[in-house]
Amino acid sequence: MAIEITTAEKRLLQRVSIPPRPETLLTVSREAKKSEPDVNVIAESISADMSIAAAVLQVVNSAAYRRAREVDSIQQAVMTLGFRRVFPIVRAVALKSALTSDYDLSEFWRYNEWVAGACVMIAEAIGRPELRDHAYMLGLFQSSGIPVMLAEFDDYADLLNAAESTPWQQVQAKELELFQTSHTTIGALLAQQWKLPKIVVEVIYYLFEDSSIFNHSSELDNLTLDLLGILKISRYAIDLRTRSLAGEEEWQYVQDGVLEHFQIDEFKVDEMLQIVHEELFDTEA
């Protein structure tokens, strides 16, 4: 799959500032490429950045990961979960730290953190536990093009506010009309430049396709469709508590395709939604 960009987008992207990968991520990535990565070097590299280290510990101790005992150090996290599971989390929180804005992004990140946590739970509930860490990364990073769009276009904040009551499929069409690109294209290019897994790049790019992407797609393989389906159910779960009318309409775009892809019914979806709501919201009350 190649990300398709128009001539107008090419011109635009020449002036869009895409943040570089954080130094912590570069160090950990270099170590990860070795035939025998040194977990001590990895743990020390992560621990050296206090904000990233704190964020990683917050994730591994969150409701999504349901740990019986609290993990209180990066060394313990790497040893307990294994580097292959910790690395996607490190990637996600490190990249989050690189996406800054003059706008208040606290609500934006809270939503994406909820979706990321839901992705872990849905991956397990749907029978795809091997995807949970990539699903977490995707959930946190799915909207990464939005801070870039905010920085580039003065009018983008107004469009972003409209998304609270408007399905993103319609907002994305407006993005293309007003700015000649979309946050999903920018997000996919950002993920590609930061060398995130190919399946994460693909899901970001195709995020707001309708049900036909599951039924007639020659673009995406089954594993990528699994990840897209997990994200769609997770977004629906969070949307029901944050932007219910728009979220319900978004879900209708993909419901049939997701149900058919996973061979599940609406009762199974309701069961998974309840798990997410109990773990992420009802325990906070």
Domains of the chain, start order: 20-98 (no CATH), 100-285 (1.10.3210.10)
What is the rounded CA–CA span in Å between residue 91 and residue 138? 10
Whether 95 has a pLDDT exceeding 80, the answer reads: no
Whether 1 has a pLDDT exceeding 70, the answer reads: no
Q: How far is CA 133 from the centre of its chain?
A: 10
Among 70-79, 115-124, 235-244, which is the least confidently predicted range?
Answer: 70-79
Which range, 74-83, 89-98, 135-144, has the best average confidence (pLDDT)? 135-144
Whether 272 has a pLDDT exceeding 80, the answer reads: yes
What is the rounded CA–CA span in Å between residue 38 and residue 28? 10
What is the rounded CA–CA span in Å between residue 81 and residue 87? 10
Phi-psi region of 180 (alpha: psi -120 to 50; beta: other; left: phi over 0): left
Whether 130 has a pLDDT exceeding 50, the answer reads: yes
Provide the 10 A C-beta neighbour count for residue 249.
17
**Residue that is written with structure tokens 């206090």 in the block:** 50
Q: Is the overall model pTM greater than 0.75, yes or no?
A: yes
